[in-house]
A and B are shown apart, each in its own frame.
Chain A
Amino acid sequence: MSRKSIFGKSFSKTINSEDILGKEVIDLEGKRIGVVEKVLIDPNSLDFIGLEVDKGFLKKGLSIGKSYIDKISESAVFLKIKVVYEIKNMIVFDKIGEKIGRVSELELFGERNKIKKLYIKRGIMGGKLEIPYHFIDIIGYNVILTVKKKRLLNYNKKISSKIS
């Protein structure tokens, strides 16, 4: 049956929510982030604003803004970025490759995909080590810092003495 349309323009090149839902979401480096669970639309402007991603069983969902999406293809949604939340549990090495710990928490600049601080849990007593963004050199499989462990510990000492 032919469908009636009051679209105003041809919608042959558009995609619908069914085309997007359930598609794999792949980051800049080809890592699978999850599958599209929801398509987010601004109720006032009626614009497409982003996607909600299901990362799997027992994992928190993730909302990704439109500006971080590179393209939506037949089989997947490609992102322009590496999702910063994927940094959790990565090993942190200092400048000379000494292991400092694993990332337990992170703080972002607002809700952007930009790291402000990383936190490493130390020991059973729950002490935390703070790493500001300017101490981070590389984020890849793990994290490499621009400073040595000693300097990081001194930085944290300064912070804790300021607080107390």
Chain B
Amino acid sequence: MKIHHRITKKEAALEDTLNLSNSLNVRVISKNGRIIGKASQIRINPSKMSLEGILVSRGNFKKPIYIGISYVKRISHKSFILKMEPSILIKGRKVLDSKGKKVGNIKNIVRNGHSNEIREIVVTSPLRKDIILNRTKIKTIGESVILKSNYNVKKKYFWEKL
């Protein structure tokens, strides 16, 4: 690092800070190591002058994701590592009941506000009505979603009344 003058009060020394221009276009990795995309923008709050979040671009045809800084675990010039798995990315995953039978695929996710917390998932399967499942009915969210044993999904064909 070049020799420099320093004018600071309580702020950290230059050596202890990170040049964010080097962190642009680096990988954004979820808690479990999934590559989410690349950090295309790093956003700051102009009034608080603090880091607010990152905009993650995911390639053509996919909407970018704005992730709040409270979900970021580590920032470096190589990557951003998140504290969580973005819940919106479970769309399309298989849903299995507690016996391993396929219930359908996730069509939509309802979250608590803009947080990463899932409130409900909407499950769809061909020729059947969509099923709305509360978060409390879910046992595991991983490669597929497994439901709790106390919940038996009653599938209804679309011609059946609710």
Contacts and interface: CB of A to CB of B under 8 A. Distances in A.
A140 B100 contact: no
B146 interface: yes
A138 B99 CA distance: 28
Given A30-B140, A144-B81, A24 B100 contact: yes
A94 B141 CA distance: 25
Given A24-B100, A26-B100, A90-B33, A97 B140 contact: no
Chain A interface bracket (under 10, 10 to 19, 20 to 34, 35 or more):
20 to 34
B143 A140 contact: no
B156 interface: no
A29 interface: yes
Contacts of A93: 29, 33, 79
A77 B27 CA distance: 36
Contacts of A94: 78
B145 interface: yes
B34 interface: yes
Interface stretch (A7-15, A68-76, A119-127): A68-76
B33 A143 contact: yes
Interface string B60-85: 00000000000000101111110001
Interface residues of B, number: 30
A84 interface: no
Contacts of B96: 26, 30, 76
Interface of chain B: mostly helix, strand, loop or mixed: loop
A90 B77 CA distance: 22
A141 B33 contact: yes
A29 B100 contact: no
B105 interface: no
A99 B74 CA distance: 15
Given A74-B101, A76-B99, A97-B78, A144 B142 contact: no
Interface in B128-162: 140-146
A91 interface: yes
B143 A75 contact: no
Given A97-B26, A97-B78, A97-B79, A30 B146 contact: yes
A140 B79 contact: no
A27 to B, nearest CB: 8
Contact of B74 (A27, A77, A97): A97
Given A74-B100, A76-B99, A30 B32 contact: no
B33 A75 contact: no
A28 to B, nearest CB: 7
Interface of B: 26-27, 29-35, 74, 76-81, 85, 94, 96, 98-101, 140-146
12 contacts: A26-B146, A27-B143, A30-B145, A76-B100, A93-B33, A97-B27, A97-B74, A97-B78, A97-B80, A99-B27, A142-B32, A144-B33
